[in-house]
Amino acid sequence: MALRAGAGVRRWRAGLGGPGRACLSWPGVGVGVRVGGLRWAALEVGAGSSGVVRTLEDLPGPGQMRFFFQLFVQGYALHLHQLQMVSKARFGPLWRSQTGPYTNVNLASAALAEELLRQEGRFPMRSDMALWKEHRQSRGLAYGPFTEEGERWYQLRQALNKRMLKPSEAALYSESLNDVVSSLVVRLEELRADSPSGDQVDNVADLFYHFSLEAISYILFEKRLGCLGQSRSEEMEGFLEAVGFMFKNSIYATFLPKWTRPLLPFWRRYLAGWDTIFAFGKKMIDQKLEEMEKALETQKPGEEIKVSGYLHFLLTSGKFSPHEVMGSLAELLMAGVDTTSNTLTWTLYHLARDPELQEALHEEVAAVMPAGQVPQHKDFAHMPLLKAVLKETLRLYPVVPTNARVNVEKEVDVGGFHFPKNTLFVLCNYAISRDPEVFPSPQAFLPRRWLRGNRGDPPEASGVMHPFGSLPFGFGIRGCLGRRVAELEMQLALSRLVQRYEIRPAPGLGEVKAIARIILVPHKPVSLTFLPRRP
């Protein structure tokens, strides 16, 4: 694809100048018992004995006051994933919960998730994304792939899919990502050398945050930012802090009534986080447009300018204004940081605690790429255990522990219940992927369960018995846009690290648990020891 001289680049330059029902995709986690002591028997999913299909009003669920008590008095606001388990044990795999005036239908089994998702229409909707939309509307910003809806969302998504979603297209970024992984290794060596023991890296999540920002920025904006250098700009550090700030404060902005916004700091902090994310994205787009203008100025008659990366592709596709490009890339930039950084952190934590598994993985990697060799995307077809390790990490720690669907196009039947249009369904990913009926020994980290033949794991842990048992990247046309790139990024990084180092827990690390900052993150810093392997 090429851009000819005078193809309108300057017009792009000129164009840059409440909690609602779902409140993102994570509000509906039923908990506890109804106020007043009324107890519900756990629901047996399916039509009643008379064959009559039941409705929303027939579902069990907790009272709203009890829900808020659990969140803000008992401290479950940061443990919403655990409330899924509590609710499923109390009410069964299908229950309703109330958040303000909105009713959520919670699904916590693979079979129910499949039944719902198989009925999706042409324009599936995650939720109304009210909090995100409030920010966009208040700032006059365009919606992106997470916030747009209906026909407009479909057109946007189809355009964004190109050069991103197919494995063959994601493979185009292998060289760029390997370049970033090399910088990751250099930075890890610097941190090891600076530690008192000479081999420890404190808080590896911070290292992987910088790695993830460098990688996604290189893909989206075609520019190395220097996130993995010894000295980093305040602007870069501010962006990383803003992502965490936005997620953390959105929890409180989601559940607290709107009248609390002037009184409490959470809403202002939430808006400030998004403002920083968008400002960072706008600066990157401005710089890219300047580069494109200069290329046009030096272009010889008849010469074509090669469209290089993702941002260049979007700006020259003719389908987006710069205003719309910024709306999409800011959301993609935010999503691209947390997914890979947290997954790599959890993966190394578990490998460090299981030397036998780590050694088996090292042997697999070394057989495909001997010491000093850099992997290519085609190599991972010969690394089934490496892929299984990442799958198992995402099963135990789905980046987003809940997702949502609003059936905007038609009525649906799920679990023997009939639901009208515009019902909000909450998919309890955390509870679904820890179901012992689907994953025996569900709390254990057993990657070999994903391998054909289940090599090496005990018989009681064998089998992955339902295709909807773990959906860390979502499902169908509304699935994760950056899935292929994220998988490649994690595979390249993990293979290089396992190739070079034996990884152990740092002294005194102990057990690390998850907390929900909308996404699942470690409850304390994960510090690890990296011992160089002999060639």
E strand or H helix at 85, and its extent?
helix 80-91
Q: How far apart are CA 362 and CA 365, in angstroms?
A: 5
What is the DSSP code string of 37-83? Answer: S---PPP--S--TT-PPEEGGG-----HHHHHHHHHTS-GGG-HHHH
State phi, psi for 407 to the nearest 5 degrees: -80, 90
**Are the C-beta atoms of 111 and 435 separated by less than 8 Å?**
no
What is the DSSP code string of 27-47? Answer: -----S--TTS---PPP--S-
The DSSP call for residue 534 is: P
- Residue 420: CB atoms within 10 A of its CB come to 11
Burial class (CB in 10 A: 0-12, 13-18, 19+), 207: buried
State phi, psi for 306 to the nearest 5 degrees: -70, 135
Nearest in space to 426 (alpha carbons), one of 87, 9, 190? 87
What the block records as the tokens of 360 is: 């088996």
**Burial per residue of 427-442, b for 16 or more beta-carbon CB atoms within 10 angstroms, e otherwise:** bbbbbbbbbeebbbeb
E-strand spans in 194-242? 200-201
- Tell whether residue 428 is among the known ligand binding residues: no
**Are the C-beta atoms of 360 and 457 separated by less than 8 Å?**
no
Burial class (CB in 10 A: 0-12, 13-18, 19+), 54: middle
Helix and strand totals (H; E) in the chain: 17, 14
Distances from the Cα of 357 to the Cαs of 237, 332, 361, 388, in angstroms? 35, 33, 6, 11
Binding-site positions for heme: 480
Binding-site positions: 480
